[in-house]
Structure 1
Amino acid sequence: MLSQAANHYITIDVKYKQTRELVMCTNWIF
């Protein structure tokens, strides 16, 4: 159960970082 929660938070962290990088790239373009 602990590992499930850890995986859940890792997934959120990865998605957050990807989204932030995408926003930074978009700001670069415009």
Structure 2
Amino acid sequence: MMMMTVMVTVMTMMMVMTVMVTVMTVMVTVM
């Protein structure tokens, strides 16, 4: 049970980080 929550949290954090990096790259490209 605990491992499942940890895995989900890690996956969510990774997805959020990738999205943030993509948004930053797009903003820099637009500027």
- Whether the TM-score (by the shorter chain) exceeds 0.5 is yes
| Counterpart AA for 1:2 | M
Count of aligned positions: 30
Tell me the equivalent position of 1:19.
20
For structure 2, list consecutive stretches of 5 or more residues without a partner in the other structure: none
Percent of aligned positions that are identical: 7
**Partners of 2:14 and 2:6 in 1: CA distance:** 12
User: Which stretches of structure 1, 4 residues or longer, exceed 4 Å deviation after superposition?
Assistant: none
> Which TM-score applies when normalising by structure 2?
0.92
> Which TM-score applies when normalising by structure 1?
0.95
Q: What is the CA-CA distance between 1:17 and the residue it aligns to? A: 0.1
